[in-house]
Amino acid sequence: SWDTVETATGNSVYSGTVSINTTQVSTSSYSLKDAAHGNGTTCDMNNKTSGTCTLFTDADNVWGTGATSNRQSAAVDAHYGAAKTYDYYNTTFGRKGIFNNGTGVPSRVHYGSAYVNAFWDGSSMTYGDGSGNTRPLVSLDVAGHEMSHGVTERTANLTYSGESGGLNEATSDIFGTMVEFSAANSADAGDYLIGEKINISGNGKPLRYMYNPTLDGKGIGCWSSTTKNVDVHYSSGVGNHFFFNLAEGSGATAYGTSPLCGSATAVTGIGRTKAAAIWYRALTTYFTSSTNYKAARGYTLSAATDLYGKCGTEYKAVQKAWTAVNVTG
């Protein structure tokens, strides 16, 4: 009988030729349904914003061409991104999908006409094709970012405004980046840039820079009393900059130069695996809907204590990394 899990080849827009999981549905038809990742599916909105999303099917189980003009190519990226995000949370934290119940999610691609965004709506992922020079919004970091909004929603549920909104956005940039690193894909290697593949502004620049958030023109790299007043995609800079310092250190690093705020002293990184473990524990154990940056400092120190002990290297690095973004004790 059919409905068997297949390992298929996909030619993606951004991640090269990748392995994806599909399902055989008849003698000569396969679908983008991934029984190895909670039955996550990928479907085509056919450039509409409502109505049926049509599950992708294919006769030979070789998907996409890598060209944006091929409708399956972006679907391959989304399907791969959903699987890699599922794998990151499961392998790293034992979290079984966004809902932690083993269920995957639908990914809806080709949403709307010239739609330059992607979003999580509480149950599904949706991706636009971009407009003009902007490419489809289906890169690994964008997929990991959006699905991490689902994880935040199901855990701390950080309110999407003010400083808690900045922490919500930073959480998505942090784990979107961790998904990108964990996939170890040579066509889309890990970095601390967000959206570097999609050319969102048409100038070849990424959307955000975690090592120096000011490089996007509006991001906040150092906390101040006005951080709460800016859009959450800019106040996230404080959290992104903290995470970079904690993972990679301040100053010149392999992934960019992180400036110190004020008179802070240099930070030596503890590596992104430990930094992400501290953030995830803080997110899932201590953060609440109203957590602000000052509280996040205390909660990540509690998380570091839980994981690595009180006043060890990791604990002190968390202190220094927050002080380096002007979130002081």
By the criterion CB under 6 A, which residues form the site for ligand ASN?
A: 117-119, 145-146, 149, 169, 233
Q: State the minimum distance, in angstroms, from the CB of residue 172 to Zn ion.
A: 5
* Residue 193 binding partner per list ligand ASN, Ca ion, Zn ion, none, with a CB distance cut-off of 5 to 8 Å that depends on partner kind: Ca ion
Active site residue 146: yes
Across 63-86, b (16+ Cβ under 10 Å) vs e yields: bbebebeebbbbbbbbbbbbbbbb
The verdict on whether 233 is a catalytic residue reads: yes
Q: Which residue among the candidates 37, 146, 241, 314 is catalytic per the annotation? A: 146
Contacts of 198 (CB under 8 A, 6+ apart): 130, 134, 135, 136, 137, 139, 142, 207
Nearest residue to 34 (alpha-carbon basis) of 24, 49, 47, 46? 24
Can you tell me which of 193, 220, 230, 321 binds Ca ion, judged by CB under 5 A? 193
| Bridging pattern class, strands 256-258 and 251-253 | antiparallel
Which residue lies nearer to ligand ASN by CB, 233 or 320? Answer: 233
Q: What are phi and psi of 64, to 5 degrees?
A: 70, 170
Dmax over CA atoms of the chain, in Å, equals 68
Sign (positive/negative) of CA torsion 202, 206, 212, 214?
Answer: positive
CB of 171 to Ca ion, least distance (A): 15
Closest to ligand ASN by CB, 145 vs 272, is: 145
The item of Ca ion, Zn ion, ligand ASN, none sharing an interface with residue 141, based on CB under 5 to 8 Å by kind, is Ca ion
**Which one of ligand ASN, Ca ion, Zn ion, none is in contact with 323 (Cβ closer than 5 to 8 A by kind)?**
none
Binding site partner of 117, from ligand ASN, Ca ion, Zn ion, none, Cβ cut-off 5-8 A by kind: ligand ASN
Of 37 and 233, nearer to ligand ASN (C-beta) is 233
Question: Taking the complex as a whole, how short is the minimal distance between the CB of residue 153 and Ca ion, in angstroms?
Answer: 22
DSSP helix/strand/coil, 261:
coil
Instruction: Give min distance, CB of 254 to ligand ASN, in A.
Output: 27
Q: How far is CA 164 from the centre of its chain?
A: 17
Give the type of residue at 12: S
Phi, psi of 62 (to 5 degrees): -115, 120
Strands (E), the chain: 5-11, 17-26, 29-31, 33-34, 40-44, 54-55, 57-58, 62-63, 107-111, 118-120, 125-128, 193-194, 208-209, 251-253, 256-258
With CB under 5 to 8 Å by kind, the binding choice for 119 among Ca ion, ligand ASN, Zn ion, none is ligand ASN
* Interacting residues of 35 by C-beta distance below 8 A, sequence separation 6+: 3, 5, 21, 23
Q: Which of the residues 37, 79, 149, 233 is marked catalytic?
A: 233
Residue 320, contacted partner among Zn ion, ligand ASN, Ca ion, none, CB below 5-8 A by kind: none
Q: How far apart are CA 107 and CA 83, in angstroms?
A: 11
Closest to ligand ASN by CB, 127 vs 315, is 127
Minimum separation from the CB atom of position 233 to Zn ion (A): 7
Quote the least distance from Cβ 258 to ligand ASN, whole Å: 23
Segment near Ca ion (CB under 5 A); pick from 22-30, 109-117, 189-197, 240-248: 189-197
Q: Characterize the bridge pairing of strands 193-194 and 125-128.
A: unpaired
Q: Tell which one of 34, 44, 129, 141 touches Ca ion (CB under 5 A).
A: 141
Binding site for Zn ion (CB under 5 A): 172
In the complex, the residues that contact Ca ion under the rule CB under 5 A are: 141, 180, 191, 193
Catalogue the active-site residues: 146, 233
